[in-house]
Structure 1
Amino acid sequence: MSTERIALIEALAGKALWLSNWMIHHANHLRPNPDGVKVGGHQASSASMTAILSALYFGILKPEDRVAVKPHAAPVFHAIQYLFGKQSLDKLKAFRGYGGAQSYPSRTKDTDDVDISTGSVGLGVAFTAFASMIQDYVRAKPWAKQRAEGRMIALVGDAELDEGNVYECLLEGWKHSLRNTWWIIDYNRQSLDGVVREGLYDRIEAIFRAFEWNVVTLKYGAKQRRAFADPGGERLRDWIDACPNGLYSALMFRGGAAWRERLTDEIGDQGPVTALLERRTDAELAELMANLGGHCIESLLEQFEGQTTDKPTVFIAYTVKGWGTPLAGHKDNHAGQMTGAQIDSLKASMRVRDGHEWERFEGLKPSERELQAFLDKVPFNTTKSRRLSSPAVPALGPQFVGPSATSTQTAFGKVLDAIAKTDSELARRIVTTSPDVTVSTNLGTWVNRRHLFANREMADIFQKERIPSAQKWQFTPDGQHIELGIAEMNLFLLLGAAGLSHSLFGERLLPIGTLYDPFIARGLDALNYACYQDARFLLVATPSGVSLAGEGGAHQSVGTPLIGMAQDGLASFEPAFADELSVIIDWGFDYMQRDGSDRADLADWPRDVSGGSVYLRLSTRAIEQPPREVTPGLASDIIRGAYWLVPPTPNCEAVIAYQGVLASEAITAAGMIGGERRNVAVLAVTSADRLNAGWHGAQRARLHGDRDATCHIETLLADAPDTAALVTAIDGHPATLGWLGSVRGHRAITLGVEHFGQTGTVTDLYRHFGIDAAAIANAAQSLFGGRR
């Protein structure tokens, strides 16, 4: 290993340390802050990872590697990108400000080279495992272009390992023979509020070994190892091994004199140990004790370069929070910031002149020419974009499934089976996944035709033993279904990874994930995270609402339509009929592939320009299907969010607007009222989400001067007289449609479900919650007397 190379990376690491600290100091103390709200930043948490990040980016990484950076190390990451020339000075100066470098690395909001968005919840960590699984999936397909394999790398805070999704991911990785994954733990032994418990290292090591990971411990730096080889060095190492976490941190903060006093008192022997200590000044002793494995470029490079296996590997790197700064080791340093005097002291120690704080090579001993020449040759510092692309896959058109009575869940299975029968590019690019509910969410026929994915062939034992079974569970590298255990967080992380395959691995996938609708909430954090990364997937959630009557409140969903409306990056639909579903699925495959680089803010329908993911809320309740032709106009209205099932006349007295499976009740209620010779219109809402987004878009446009701006729901409701009563009904929370009365000022009653469900028949529950036909009709009739 070249000493010159080590020296250059050490110099660049020192510069990254300075820039990250100055960036935070500038944001909090020098940049104007008119509202006075704390800006924040994590000087100490960044500092502990500086050497690790520097060793990786300047010495180890290749362009095909993908990295999830510890969120609190974002300033160091941005500093390294600045040294590469991939981050602007303006962005650094605006760190945590409007338009500046983001608080935590974001692949959608940062302009520098972020692979994987992260936040302090372990999601970026687990994401790397699923990204590796998707890399294996893509490489196994004969239609995929073969590219160099990359390592999926996560830089992890030790306290971040408290997150449960990390361990759910470990189990799933073991099931799927995880490869090419590195997790590097910043073992600084401090969390937000204090010092971590003693013995944590042993627990971490045992967990990873249990899941058959390679465990590499980076405890001692090169200087410490050389000291251990000197007379008395073994006693020093034994003392370090026995030292409690809290005491080590405290002594780091107190400095060289404190180290000397403690070590002399506890292991001084007036012999070799004392001589070892006395050969060093206080500053040199402090530097020696701070030379842990996670801060030693030489040790980091040696261990990283020594890993030649594709076995998943965890590096437990001992570090000090606040390393290299006056904050080092203090238990309150997580959100703490250096004072003016402390930052000046750090500046002086790094030979940075006043007014030259932002210069890339200021104060470094190697020359600017030497450093730039080195950076130009760093393998990771490619001039090509590391974000790949893949052409859009042509759609097949809607796959209609016939007019007989059916449920939307059953229709979904038939649509997917119709696609599975084709020898189309669309069919080849679909990958399905489910958390152990494959059959009960109607993916069974797709899996029977397209099989399950595994890196190697595995026979279906029941089939081999000639035992009759409807499910043919054949595992093969050609398979197109990834079966997961019962963990919704894993489902959404896998969908996120598969939904970024075109960018990460250069091959387009069309991921479809199915789960029980009420359990969206169990993985909501990971769903939001996948959407934040702009991953593209089709989420099929079934069964919905209290229509799953016999299961009771634990398996019935109430609030999920509101999740669908509120979640950015997710177009939410709840069709009632199979032909609606067919149109939506066909549109969804196109929507998932639209180019997110377009200027969405310039469009009337921003997400229609940039694309996104799609959420289908389906039901297991079979209803009669309307015998009709789906014209282009009807298809357009289905996608835009609503259409008139029964249009209003000029004498219309009531409008019944429903979403989803309550179609039968709405139609029956309209007939009941119409029997009294009243004109009743029926509005079929396929997407309250899209209607609401269009309405708000039109309102914003009018506020900005476009007086003629309008939207689909305004156009539809303009057909109904202002005097008409409006009743909304949904097998879910009534607020989903409750805003419709505000569009044109119609008197409205909103029906739905606001409480945990009951057990019973559908008839029982609809009557109990007041969403049956009689309740809908009664609500409309109650408004007739209030005619304006």
Structure 2
Amino acid sequence: MPADLTQLKAVEQRLLWLSHWMIHHANHVRPKIDGIKVGGHQASSASMVSIMTALYFSALRPEDRVAVKPHASPVFHAIQYMMGNQTREKMENFRGFGGVQSYPSRTKDTCDVDFSTGSVGLGVAITSFASIIQDYIHAKSWGANAPMGRMVALVGDAELDEGNIYEALQEGWKNDLRNTWWIVDYNRQSLDGIVREGLFGRIEKIFDAFGWDVVRVKYGALQRAAFEEPGGEALRDWIDACPNQEYSALTFMGGAVWRKRLMDDLGDQGDVTALLERRSDDELAELMENLGGNCVATMADTFAAIDHDRPTCFLAYTIKGWGTPIAGHKDNHGGLMNSSQFTDWQTHMGIGTGEEWEPFAGVEDPVALRDFLSRVPFFARGTRRFRDNRLSVPAIAIDSARETSTQMAFGKILDDLSKGNSGLAARIVTTSPDVTGTTNLGPWGNRRKLFARTAQADAFIDHRIPSTAKWEFTPEGQHIELGIAEMNLMLLLGAAGLSHSLFGKRLIPIGTVYDPFVARGLDALNYACYQDARFLLVGTPSGVTLAPEGGAHQSVGTPLIGISQDGLAAFEPAFADELAVIMEWAFDYLQRDGEGDPDERTWLRDETGGSVYLRLTTNPIEQPGKRVDDSFRQGAIDGAYWLRKPGPNCDVVIAYQGAVAPEAIRAAGLIGENRRDVGVLAVTSADRLNAGWTAAQRARSRGHAGARSHAEALLSGLPPHCRIITVIDGHPATLSWLGSIAGHQTIPLGVEHFGQTGTIGDLYRHHGIDAEAIVEKVNGLTHGKDVSHRILAPIPGH
């Protein structure tokens, strides 16, 4: 055996042991606190050991990036431990507080994780979008010197049931995908059973249709050698014909059962009998379990044979639980070796008592192995987390003297940026799932062009046919046009939002989507935020403001998504000047990477930075005119400001968020005829108000007696008897908590049910969020009347 192959085999066995010992220690050795199984997927790790050994210690280079199959996390941590990048303390605390994570995490693990995984399917798909972003960067003059690597996903075969994978395949084909490897751990077992027979034959056709090379890695070196012996062809035919479930069951039962079954099926054919008799029961079991994905030499040779940049899917046949007593059992997905099984297996692996955590225990030649590890290319440059300089943000202003919508204002701000030559504008990349024009990205795309690795002509331009969409595809383009799948939008934003760390080149990604369809990509949005990707997500139009389109195009719960989503600062400005202030702040916020000390003015941890979500509308409303006061600007960023300050005897405050501003303002005017001290609170971000308030409460409980949030400062002067009417074109719970800040009675108005077609006025009246409904609610409270029936009053004529 060549020297390097000897060392690869030694690494493989060390990873098999360390990954399984870590799981066993967590479940059977570490003291139990709550009596609940810790878990850790020993069998799913075992099936990946040979693949990951060949990949990390032979095939990969430092510029390559890997998304590890979630259930192979213990193998990944074992790799990092062997290479000195992970501590024993954290390994001993696997799946414990502060220990190595259940699934690889960019933000929670301290070692070199490229992509977080855990929500199956998403880690697979993001590699294709990372490759597209790598091509995007490399096509630009400022990114041409960036290293080009392969984006690799280690895929569980059951993950191929996830629909988002096939959406990603289609998008990759559209964008001429390259430098992407997906390595499928084809152990043919999932959580609840055996993968359906012949499924991958159909999946293979799908990959082929989208331009991927498919490489089947079915037989290991031992099997291929046996096939060359007399009788070997009959053995291979038997293996090919054996059903998945039967092969798994025979694997679990072992060599003697293998022998009997092969003799029963193949009969006494002379050559076959001799082939079997040349091997002991253990050797026969080793032969039958030597599938391609469990043979480190075969996997290393297979990876080394790829000499092109076409996207490639490796179908690596494996045994789930390979090399352990639970190999092949259909219940082994979440099952663990018991203490008796593990003790016997420890003896089989040659690990002495007390040596369990030693990285090189049981190795015949530790000096040679250390020398080999010191020369592994992938680890040669240390941790591969890059940085890029922060970009200066130009002043952003907009004419707010005329009637406009926040969606139109957003498009105008980007169009103004597109006309300039700022460094920020050069790094902006926009994207949208087939709604570029209707979310007001059209002017930006026309001016900054669309991205493609090779230039593509626009027939309408060539034939001089008038069109508002002058879509020229070019490597210099700064807009990536996606198909209609919102999941792909969020995955692309996640990949682009990590570009500074993955590729050392900062991008400012901006994605637009119809606001009601944010929820269609919510899993991938959460995944992107979990990785601390940085992007600007624009949901528009929102609420019931696209009234003629009906309930399917009206969003109700998205403000609550904005409040609840970690890593995402959500805003819903009403006016264009608010939007300009927020976007100028957001472009800087996306780039921050501070330690997280709270700002004691708001108790928000703004220095850590994050992503931003803007909820905008198509409803044009009258603008307030030019405003220059600092309290307005700072309030718009912090989450709220007084549009009309309450007087000392204020008994009613109207707090609104978003496009219902005119209704709130008009209601305040009508109410103010009898109550001069009425206040109007303009909320631009219920998310930031709420986050600051809860953070200040935590700070006070920890001894910061003077901690006070922005929301508390705003409401501190209100008399106790004052009532707060909240109104939003969205779920009323978004603002209903405001009364809890200082104990004021709060009456929340908003949208709780699916809408229908009509005018905006029709629907505002229907849901009770128009000025008249606000006034009626206030009057009803004053006179003790119940006017809740107005909230669901039918539209006349419907």
Same fold (TM over 0.5): yes
Query: 1:145: Cα distance to partner?
Result: 5.1
- SS where residue 377 of structure 2 aligns? coil
Query: 1:782: Cα distance to partner?
Result: 2.8
- SS where residue 190 of structure 2 aligns? coil
Q: 1:494 aligns with which of 472, 479, 492?
A: 492
Aligned AA for 1:41? G
Deviates more, 1:644-653 or 1:503-512: 644-653
Matches within 5 A, 1:168-567: 168-365=167-364, 367-567=365-565
Which residue matches 1:83? 82
Contact 2:51 2:293 in 1 (8 A): yes
**In structure 2, C-alpha distance between the alignment counterparts of 1:509 and 1:201, rounded to whole Å:** 37
Q: Would the alpha carbon gap of residues 181 and 339 (structure 1) be closer, same or farther in structure 2, given more than 3 Å must change?
A: same
Which residue matches 1:64? 63
Aligned AA for 1:207? I
Aligned AA for 2:477? G
- SS where residue 378 of structure 2 aligns? coil
Which residue matches 2:725? 727
Contact 2:631 2:641 in 1 (8 A): no
Which residue matches 1:694? 692
Residues 174-232 of structure 1: CA deviation (Å, up to 9, x unaligned): 00000000000000000101111111121121111111101101000011000000000
Query: 1:283: Cα distance to partner?
Result: 0.2
**In structure 2, C-alpha distance between the alignment counterparts of 1:82 and 1:448, rounded to whole Å:** 51
Residues 608-662 of structure 1: CA deviation (Å, up to 9, x unaligned): 0210000000010000000132323321111000000000110212100000001
**In structure 2, C-alpha distance between the alignment counterparts of 1:167 and 1:321, rounded to whole Å:** 25
Q: Would the alpha carbon gap of residues 161 and 512 (structure 1) be closer, same or farther in structure 2, given more than 3 Å must change?
A: same
Deviates more, 1:460-469 or 1:606-615: 606-615
- SS where residue 35 of structure 1 aligns? coil
- SS where residue 178 of structure 1 aligns? coil
**In structure 2, C-alpha distance between the alignment counterparts of 1:590 and 1:599, rounded to whole Å:** 15
Contact 1:536 1:593 in 2 (8 A): yes
Matches within 5 A, 1:619-630: 619-630=617-628
Query: 1:679: Cα distance to partner?
Result: 2.3
Query: 1:297: Cα distance to partner?
Result: 1.1
**In structure 2, C-alpha distance between the alignment counterparts of 1:638 and 1:69, rounded to whole Å:** 41
Which residue matches 1:19? 18
Deviates more, 1:758-767 or 1:509-518: 758-767
**In structure 1, C-alpha distance between the alignment counterparts of 2:533 and 2:126, rounded to whole Å:** 12
- Number of matched pairs: 784
Contact 1:216 1:314 in 2 (8 A): yes
**In structure 1, C-alpha distance between the alignment counterparts of 2:187 and 2:605, rounded to whole Å:** 42
1:738 and 2:736 are equivalent in the alignment: yes
Segments of structure 2 that go 5 or more residues without pairing to the other structure are 786-798
Contact 2:603 2:708 in 1 (8 A): no
1:150 and 2:149 are equivalent in the alignment: yes
Query: 1:705: Cα distance to partner?
Result: 1.2
**In structure 2, C-alpha distance between the alignment counterparts of 1:601 and 1:364, rounded to whole Å:** 50
Contact 2:400 2:625 in 1 (8 A): no
Which residue matches 2:36? 37
Query: 1:601: Cα distance to partner?
Result: 7.3
Which residue matches 1:577? 575
Residues 8-36 of structure 1: CA deviation (Å, up to 9, x unaligned): 01111101001111101110111112111
Residues 58-109 of structure 1: CA deviation (Å, up to 9, x unaligned): 1111110000000000001100110011111111100000000000000110
Aligned AA for 1:496? G
Contact 1:653 1:784 in 2 (8 A): no
**In structure 1, C-alpha distance between the alignment counterparts of 2:573 and 2:763, rounded to whole Å:** 21
**In structure 2, C-alpha distance between the alignment counterparts of 1:334 and 1:348, rounded to whole Å:** 24
Segments of structure 1 that go 5 or more residues without pairing to the other structure are none
- SS where residue 391 of structure 2 aligns? coil
Aligned AA for 1:702? R
Which residue matches 2:109? 110
Contact 1:726 1:780 in 2 (8 A): no
Q: Would the alpha carbon gap of residues 601 and 166 (structure 1) be closer, same or farther in structure 2, given more than 3 Å must change?
A: farther
**In structure 2, C-alpha distance between the alignment counterparts of 1:298 and 1:726, rounded to whole Å:** 71
**In structure 2, C-alpha distance between the alignment counterparts of 1:406 and 1:422, rounded to whole Å:** 23
Q: 1:595 aligns with which of 577, 587, 593?
A: 593
**In structure 2, C-alpha distance between the alignment counterparts of 1:567 and 1:106, rounded to whole Å:** 18
Which residue matches 2:791? none
**In structure 2, C-alpha distance between the alignment counterparts of 1:269 and 1:631, rounded to whole Å:** 95
Q: 1:784 aligns with which of 776, 782, 785?
A: 782
Contact 2:725 2:748 in 1 (8 A): yes
Contact 1:399 1:419 in 2 (8 A): no
Contact 1:569 1:607 in 2 (8 A): no
**In structure 2, C-alpha distance between the alignment counterparts of 1:747 and 1:783, rounded to whole Å:** 11
Aligned AA for 1:337? L
Contact 1:747 1:783 in 2 (8 A): no
- SS where residue 709 of structure 1 aligns? coil
Contact 1:401 1:415 in 2 (8 A): no
Deviates more, 1:599-608 or 1:232-241: 599-608
**In structure 2, C-alpha distance between the alignment counterparts of 1:100 and 1:701, rounded to whole Å:** 26
Contact 1:23 1:95 in 2 (8 A): yes
**In structure 2, C-alpha distance between the alignment counterparts of 1:112 and 1:553, rounded to whole Å:** 46
Contact 1:577 1:625 in 2 (8 A): yes
Aligned AA for 1:587? W
Deviates more, 1:385-394 or 1:169-178: 385-394
Deviates more, 1:522-531 or 1:193-202: 193-202
Query: 1:120: Cα distance to partner?
Result: 4.2
Contact 1:484 1:491 in 2 (8 A): yes
**In structure 2, C-alpha distance between the alignment counterparts of 1:555 and 1:277, rounded to whole Å:** 66
- SS where residue 565 of structure 1 aligns? helix
Aligned AA for 1:304? F
**In structure 2, C-alpha distance between the alignment counterparts of 1:528 and 1:696, rounded to whole Å:** 21
Aligned AA for 1:741? G
- SS where residue 341 of structure 1 aligns? helix
Query: 1:580: Cα distance to partner?
Result: 0.1
Deviates more, 1:70-79 or 1:383-392: 383-392
Contact 2:70 2:120 in 1 (8 A): no
Contact 2:497 2:508 in 1 (8 A): yes
Contact 1:725 1:784 in 2 (8 A): no
Which residue matches 2:757? 759
**In structure 2, C-alpha distance between the alignment counterparts of 1:191 and 1:542, rounded to whole Å:** 40
Query: 1:600: Cα distance to partner?
Result: 5.0
**In structure 1, C-alpha distance between the alignment counterparts of 2:267 and 2:388, rounded to whole Å:** 65
**In structure 2, C-alpha distance between the alignment counterparts of 1:401 and 1:412, rounded to whole Å:** 12
Aligned AA for 2:652? A
**In structure 2, C-alpha distance between the alignment counterparts of 1:222 and 1:147, rounded to whole Å:** 38
Query: 1:606: Cα distance to partner?
Result: 4.9
Contact 1:129 1:178 in 2 (8 A): yes
1:747 and 2:757 are equivalent in the alignment: no
1:771 and 2:769 are equivalent in the alignment: yes
Matches within 5 A, 1:603-682: 605-682=603-680
TM-score using structure 2 length: 0.97
Q: CA RMSD in A?
A: 1.3
Q: Would the alpha carbon gap of residues 778 and 678 (structure 1) be closer, same or farther in structure 2, given more than 3 Å must change?
A: farther
**In structure 2, C-alpha distance between the alignment counterparts of 1:633 and 1:773, rounded to whole Å:** 26
Contact 2:647 2:676 in 1 (8 A): no
Contact 2:400 2:626 in 1 (8 A): no
**In structure 2, C-alpha distance between the alignment counterparts of 1:633 and 1:737, rounded to whole Å:** 21
